[in-house]
Amino acid sequence: MSNALVLKAASLIRAGDIAGAEFALVSLAEAEGDRALVAVLEEMPPKDLLAVIREFDSSHESVVNLVVTPEQFARALVMERLYGDHTHTHLRGMINAVLFREGSDTDEFLDAIGDIDGGCEALIDYLQDHDEMIVHFANYGTFNHLHTRKAVEEDEEAEGLAQDVHAEEDDVIDKSEASDHDWKEVTWLLRNYHPDMFEQILPQIKKRLKKRLQAEAELERMELDPTAVPARREAPAVSNKPVAGPDEESAL
């Protein structure tokens, strides 16, 4: 039965009938219970499971999102980039729907995401558009009183200050400020309960923020002075090593 259902769901997904595939899976849960559905989800290819999960969010729930296990979800999540959605709208919707579903152990899901290759990269995409606030939170332990631009420009000084502020505020800032069932809560959980993951994610977020701020500053400079010459990007290093000719063997 389970194999037949997996094949049926796959066929419907290939035909573009995601709703039909979801209906078939939900029908199994209604007939045989959630455990039977979890077993079928375990047999489904991650890309097929992802196709179903990404169509639903907190405002449009699916039984599949309510029963998917952390490991199943993590395997599906890392394949989201295959869709090439640069807005990451579906990614945010399904992460929020699954991590913050009623009765969910959010930390268990984050652990599963951190344990799989590509999991932290998926979270970096999820946190897109909030780089400045996240860097500020990392430095000062709060999402309030934003002054990250200066912190980015004076990164070393800001990091030194961050250590002092972090030590002072760790016992003060609680989860209530960040309980939005969205990116703030995920960021708070990462910083406080999954520091190893946060340390992997934060440098990439800082790098992305710095690049954006530099681009904005360059655009502002060009708008103020239309005759200004665009800033030159640093050219890649050129090797002095001779290149083997067509009849010569490479040294490698």
Residue 128 pLDDT: 92
Shared domain for 93 and 142, answered yes or no, is no
Which pLDDT does position 230 carry in this prediction?
72
- Domain membership flag for residue 96: yes
**Is residue 246 in some structural domain?**
no
Q: Does 87 share its domain with 144? A: no
Q: Do 94 and 172 belong together in one domain?
A: no
Mean pLDDT value across residues 192-208: 96
With respect to residue 113, please indicate whether it lies within any of the assigned structural domains: no
Q: Which of 59-63, 134-138, 194-198, 246-250 has the lowest mean pLDDT?
A: 246-250
Q: How far is CA 214 from the centre of its chain?
A: 23
Q: Are residues 1 and 45 in the same domain?
A: yes
Q: Within a domain: residue 232?
A: no
220 and 133 in a common domain:
yes
pLDDT 10s digits, 42-52: 999 999 999 99
The pTM of this model reads 0.78
Could you tell me if residue 61 is inside a domain?
yes
Q: Which of 68, 102, 136 is the last residue of a domain?
A: 102
The pLDDT score that the predictor gives to residue 201 is 97
What confidence score (pLDDT) does residue 65 get?
94
- Asked if the structure places residue 150 within a domain, the reply is yes
Domain limits for position 76: 1-102
| Residue 242 maps to a domain | no
Query: Are residues 20 and 81 located together in one domain of the fold?
Result: yes
Domain count, the chain: 2
Write out the two tokens for 158. 């800001």
User: In the predicted model, what is the mean pLDDT of residues 91-106?
Assistant: 94
Is 71 within 8 Å of 112 (Cβ atoms)? yes
In a domain, 109, yes or no: no
